[in-house]
Structure 1
Amino acid sequence: MSIQNEKDLQGILKAGKFVAKVRELLKLLAKPGVSTLELDLAAKHEFEAAGAFSAPKFDYKFPGFTCISTNFEIAHGIPKKETILKEGDLVNVDVSAKLDGYYADTGISFVVGNSNQTLQKLCETAIEGTMRATKQAFTGNYLRHIGKEIHSAAKENGFTVIKNLAGHGTGKKLHEEPQVLVYEDKRDHRKLNQGLVLAIESFISTGSQTAYEEADGWTLVAGNRQGTLSYVAQCEHTVIVQNGKPIIATL
């Protein structure tokens, strides 16, 4: 969607503040010995208290209030009581909500406990790529410049990107046009319009450039033809395109 009035602006900002609050809560609670289901139940409490709807559950019948992925899972991980976090695990929490008719989407990858240096660098690169990309979300700029920044951050730090996953428009539905690639497609000449709401996200990989869906029909992993799996880190923010500095609704 594109922001048309003050009501739209405040609606996106309110939804963005809510999902950011839940994201940070889950990150805080993610300790060794805690299950991903426990994290999801904490999110459920926040959703119900705020009168918000879980976007993946509401829009797609996802079996959880949030997507929580661990280690070689990239995204859409189903919260489970048997998935117990341990020291050094790579975790991604992805929180998206519908609140008062407006959607916002955010996510972060992090390492539980004492950091594995490679995984820590991977997570830091995901944040760097997304934050660099958000700076490209200004009116009249090329859409492809967002993906260019994400891919550049990955390459500069010795990583790659998952090319068949992307960010997206959001606002009135969880997923809207346009698709926001994590690399630059120079054939794409679309420009960003004032007020456009985007979910900008990086998918930074230790090797693979392709995501595959697991047998559960939800969970995504990254691998190659030899069956070798890669770690992937994500960072996602809901951003409003502006003439000047873009507004990040989910900081």
Structure 2
Amino acid sequence: MSIQNEKELKGILRVGKFVGRLRDFLMEKSKEGISTFALDQMAKVVFEKAGALSAPKHDYKFPGYTCISVNHEIAHGIPSRDRILKDGDLVNIDVSARLDDFYADTGISFVVGDSSSQELRHLCEVAKLGTEAAINVAHTGNLLRHLGREIQQTANRNGFKVIKNLAGHGTGRKLHEEPEVLVYENKRDKRTLTSGLVLAIESFVSTRSEMAVELSDGWTLSTLDRSYVAQCEHTVIVMDGQAIVATR
């Protein structure tokens, strides 16, 4: 969507604040020994208390309130009683919601516990840096493809790759809207960013693989070669100057 008035701006900021706080709460609760199902049930309580709807559950009948992916899983991981977090696990928590008819989407990857896996911690940091670099160029009149360029260049400078068949997207009135926000630069794309455009900008930074595959459960996206992928996602509003990050 493209924001047209103060009511719409306040609506996006409100739902963005909600998913951002829930993301951070679930990250804090992601300790060794907890199941991803237990984390998702915590999210269920928060959704219901706020009068918000889980966007993947409401819009797509996803079997969870949040997507929680572990280790070689990239995205859309189904919360499970059998998936118990361990020290050193790479976890991605993705939270998207509908609140008062507005949508926002956010996600973060992190390493559980005090594991000394510096590569995974660095991977997560580079995912954050890539998303921030894209946000920094998300201003009116810039080319849409420059967001992907920033994400890919950040990954490559740090010795990593990007997952090329996953992307960010427009959001606001629906969870997934146009335009698709690639994590690499397509130089044939001449589209420019317009003021008020709401985007879910996300990085998918990989240790090796450049492709995601869907597992047999019909939801979970993973790597074939067991490489690791970190994601960082924020819902932002394109402005004439610095973009507004609704999910900070």
Q: CA deviation at 1:59?
A: 0.6
SS in 1 for 2:209: coil
Q: CA deviation at 1:173?
A: 0.2
Q: CA deviation at 1:122?
A: 0.3
Q: Which residue of 2 aligns with 1:232?
A: 229
Aligned-partner Cα distance in 1 for 2:4–2:192: 18
Q: Which residue of 2 aligns with 1:241?
A: 238
Q: CA deviation at 1:151?
A: 0.1
Deviations 1:123-154 (A, max 9, x none): 00000000010011100000000000000010
Give the AA of the match of 1:60: Y
Give the AA of the match of 1:186: K
Aligned-partner Cα distance in 2 for 1:24–1:193: 30
Aligned-partner Cα distance in 1 for 2:175–2:222: 22
Aligned-partner Cα distance in 1 for 2:45–2:217: 26
Q: After TM superposition, what 4+ stretches of structure 1 lie above 6 angstroms from structure 2?
A: none
Aligned-partner Cα distance in 2 for 1:15–1:132: 23
**What pairs up with 1:138-149 in 2 under 5 angstroms?**
138-149=139-150
Give the AA of the match of 2:128: I
Q: Which residue of 1 aligns with 2:4?
A: 4
**Please, what is the CA RMSD of the aligned residues?**
0.5
Give the AA of the match of 2:247: T
Q: TM-score, normalised by structure 1?
A: 0.98
Deviations 1:42-100 (A, max 9, x none): 10011000000000001100000000000000000000000000000000000000000
Deviations 1:6-53 (A, max 9, x none): 000000000000000100000000000000001000100110000000
**What pairs up with 1:196-211 in 2 under 5 angstroms?**
196-211=197-212
Q: TM-score, normalised by structure 2?
A: 0.99
SS in 2 for 1:230: coil
Aligned-partner Cα distance in 1 for 2:114–2:145: 36
Give the AA of the match of 1:15: V
Aligned-partner Cα distance in 2 for 1:136–1:45: 36
Q: CA deviation at 1:229?
A: 1.6
Structure 2 unmatched runs, 5+ = none
**What pairs up with 1:3-152 in 2 under 5 angstroms?**
3-115=3-115, 116-152=117-153
SS in 2 for 1:193: coil
Aligned-partner Cα distance in 1 for 2:73–2:103: 25
Identity of aligned residues (%): 66
Q: CA deviation at 1:106?
A: 0.1
Give the AA of the match of 2:73: E
